Amino acid sequence: MYNKCDVNKIDSLFTDDIEFYHEKRGQLLGRKNVMEALSKALCGDKSNRVRRELVDGTMRVYVLEGFGALAVGEHRFYLTMGAQKEKLDGIGHFANVWQLKDGQWRMSRVLSYGFRSE
């Protein structure tokens, strides 16, 4: 859904009180603000595409008893600009807190950090 800019599916993954911390964009609070930023940055320019890919072997998931889970790992980010060939833009870390509520898993806290060019 991220790689295809499916904003409706992305929106359904967040809690209303989502907190998103990005090392370059700072803090975003609330689903509306997070979705507005993602829609503009990720899906705003149809000629540019970002693709995220999990780095094999980096994903770890930890139980948060009575709440949900913490997922941490690394992603590679690929960028396609206009008619140019896709290229590796860099690698970054993520830490996502998932809340299990009423049988639904949703992200309540997102941290994106440690981005580096490769």
For the chain, domain boundaries: 7-116
Q: What are phi and psi of 44, to 5 degrees?
A: -65, -45
Name the CATH architecture for the domain at 7-116.
Roll (3.10)
Q: Average pLDDT in the 92-100 region?
A: 98
**pLDDT at residue number 97:** 98
Q: What's the predicted TM-score (pTM) here?
A: 0.87
Rounded distance, CA 110 to CA 19, Å?
Answer: 6
Q: Average pLDDT in the 53-78 region?
A: 97
pLDDT exceeds cutoff 70 at 81: yes
Q: Average pLDDT in the 6-31 region?
A: 93
